[in-house]
């Protein structure tokens, strides 16, 4: 019935057109004759068809079809196809260590006790918590025990759990991910921005905010780049001790350092006042949905109560696999290989811009998977439009600014160099250079550009 109505409405069946006898149509469609007869009868009653003895069933004369242009489905707005993905903080999906991961999966599943395949423990598998305690102590300077580690389904899941237990305002960096702020602002707004400069967040502003919790990216401020200054690292720990506050440390890309020694975790300064959050999203893949919380001892029971009595988020097989992957050294080997790969890309980005766009200031490239291209004032919007025309997916810097920040908005592009495959990266840079403003505005104040800051 629906198909016949649509055929008449669109004009494919014109008024007066004779339809096949219901017996013949039933045979053609492989359905019961009564089904076709009932459909014909209903459409006759509705006025779409007419039936006369000896004349068969025809499209009714009054069933005038709509104009073809009105019968067409509305067209969706045409979207320009994304050719190059330069969105920040995503790893190279093609570099996922499939063979080594599969080897670890087979070994881990074969060695796992039968109890591993029962009801999941919300703390996470002990094998993974033990492997993480050793790795984080060695690689990131984290001080903890396996019983103070809780596995979660990525950073946002861990942040939501911790945020649900903290009352009052939460200090955040003026530039950061909006969805992290959204998590903390549920069910009502409570984040307050801290000014960010070349030394990271201005910790001296914390006491005046009334915040009892602060979220920081101290190893590599996201997205502007640069580590939190040593004096400010000490100052935020002093603030937490004096006020009973809590520091939430987002160590989103702590493994990727290129031009300097790794900056250890703030958690090592005071494990009782810092929640350390990490994940496999940048080092391996966001598809794994594996993260970890290193908690002060006094928070563990509350976090487990908030998470629930059963593990409903992270699969046991992936946890067991990651534990083996770390323990056998495959994780370290993968990170060394990816550091070399990302550094080559970072260097190519910097050299290409130095040659073809020397007027563009580049910052935040000593670590991580992204760089910030600082643009002349009031040019970000046009650069974003030009990037879209070139088939580029990337972010503007203004999108990361907290809406309540007192910092003046900055024009810039946040460029991720982890995602494009190696063979397409040079073409992505060519397209990027075509999207950039031609030159610095003559009346723009400020010092001359400094490379690689």
Q: What is the pLDDT of residues 160-208, one digit of tens each?
A: 999 999 999 999 999 999 989 999 998 889 999 999 999 999 999 999 9
pTM for the model: 0.78
Query: Cα–Cα distances in Å, from 127 out to 109, 149, 255?
Result: 12, 11, 21
Residue 56 bridge partners (DSSP): 52
Question: At 312, is the pLDDT very low, low, confident or very high (cuts 50, 70, 90)?
Answer: confident
Tell me, what's the pLDDT at 78? 45
- The Cα 427–Cα 443 span in angstroms is 33
- Taking residues 247-273, report their average pLDDT: 90
- Whether the pLDDT of residue 45 is over 90: the answer is no
Q: Which residue shows structure tokens 């073409």?
A: 427
Tell me, what's the pLDDT at 21? 87
Residue 274 bridge partners (DSSP): 247
- Whether the pLDDT of residue 447 is over 50: the answer is no
- Taking residues 222-249, report their average pLDDT: 95
- Whether the pLDDT of residue 440 is over 70: the answer is no
- Taking residues 133-162, report their average pLDDT: 96
Round the average pLDDT of the chain to a whole number and report it.
89
Residues of the chain above pLDDT 90, percent: 69
Q: What angle do CA 209, 214, 216 make, to 5 degrees?
A: 125
Q: What angle do CA 96, 99, 101 make, to 5 degrees?
A: 70
pLDDT digits (tens, 9 = 90+) for 378-436: 999 999 999 999 999 999 999 999 999 999 999 999 999 999 888 889 999 999 999 99
Q: Using an 8 Å Cβ cutoff, are 215 and 250 in contact? A: yes
- The Cα 177–Cα 154 span in angstroms is 15
Largest distance between two CA atoms of the chain:
98
pLDDT digits (tens, 9 = 90+) for 86-136: 999 789 999 999 999 999 999 999 999 999 999 889 999 999 999 999 999
Tell me, what's the pLDDT at 75? 52
Q: Which residue shows structure tokens 């307050």?
A: 192
pLDDT digits (tens, 9 = 90+) for 324-356: 999 999 999 999 999 999 999 999 999 999 999
The length of the chain is 453
- Taking residues 67-75, report their average pLDDT: 49
């Amino acid at each position: 019935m629906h198909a016949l109505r649509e055929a008449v409405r669109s004009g494919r069946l014109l008024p007066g057109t004779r339809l096949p006898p219901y017996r013949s149509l039933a045979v053609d469609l492989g359905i019961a004759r009564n089904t076709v007869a009932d459909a014909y009868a209903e459409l006759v009653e509705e006025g779409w068809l007419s039936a006369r003895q000896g004349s068969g069933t025809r499209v009714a004369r009054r069933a005038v079809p709509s104009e073809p242009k009105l019968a067409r489905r509305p067209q969706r707005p045409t979207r320009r196809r994304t050719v190059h993905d330069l969105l920040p903080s995503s790893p190279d999906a093609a570099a996922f260590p499939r063979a080594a991961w599969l080897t670890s999966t087979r070994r881990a599943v074969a060695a796992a006790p039968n109890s591993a395949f029962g009801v999941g423990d919300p703390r996470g598998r002990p094998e993974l918590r033990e492997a993480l305690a050793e790795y984080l102590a060695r690689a990131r300077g984290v001080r903890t025990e396996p019983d103070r580690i809780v596995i979660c389904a990525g950073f946002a899941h861990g942040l939501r759990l911790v945020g649900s237990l903290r009352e009052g305002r939460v200090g955040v960096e003026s530039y950061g991910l909006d969805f992290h702020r959204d998590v903390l602002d549920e069910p009502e707004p409570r984040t307050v921005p801290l000014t960010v400069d070349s030394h990271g967040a201005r910790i001296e502003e914390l006491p005046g905010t009334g915040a009892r919790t602060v979220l920081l990216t101290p190893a590599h401020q996201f997205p502007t780049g640069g580590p939190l200054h040593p004096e400010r690292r000490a100052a935020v720990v002093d603030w937490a001790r004096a006020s009973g506050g809590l520091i939430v440390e987002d160590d989103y890309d702590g493994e990727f350092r290129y031009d300097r020694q790794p900056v250890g975790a703030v958690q090592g300064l005071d494990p009782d006042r810092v929640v350390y959050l990490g994940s496999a999203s940048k080092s391996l893949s966001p598809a794994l949905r594996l993260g970890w919380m290193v908690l002060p001892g006094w928070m563990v029971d509350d976090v487990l109560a908030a998470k629930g009595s059963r593990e409903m988020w992270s699969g046991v097989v992936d946890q067991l696999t990651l534990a083996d992957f770390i323990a056998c050294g495959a994780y370290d080997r993968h990170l060394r290989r990816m550091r070399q790969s990302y550094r080559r890309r970072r260097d190519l980005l910097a050299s290409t811009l130095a040659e073809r766009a020397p007027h563009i200031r580049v910052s935040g490239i000593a670590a991580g998977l992204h760089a910030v291209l600082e643009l002349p004032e009031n040019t970000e919007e046009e650069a974003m439009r030009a990037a879209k025309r070139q088939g580029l997916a990337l972010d503007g810097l203004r999108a990361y600014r907290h809406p309540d920040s007192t910092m003046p908005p900055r024009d810039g592009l946040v460029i991720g160099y982890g995602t494009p495959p190696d063979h397409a990266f040079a073409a992505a840079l060519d397209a990027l250079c075509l999207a950039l403003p031609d030159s610095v505005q003559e009346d723009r104040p400020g010092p001359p550009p400094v490379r690689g800051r």
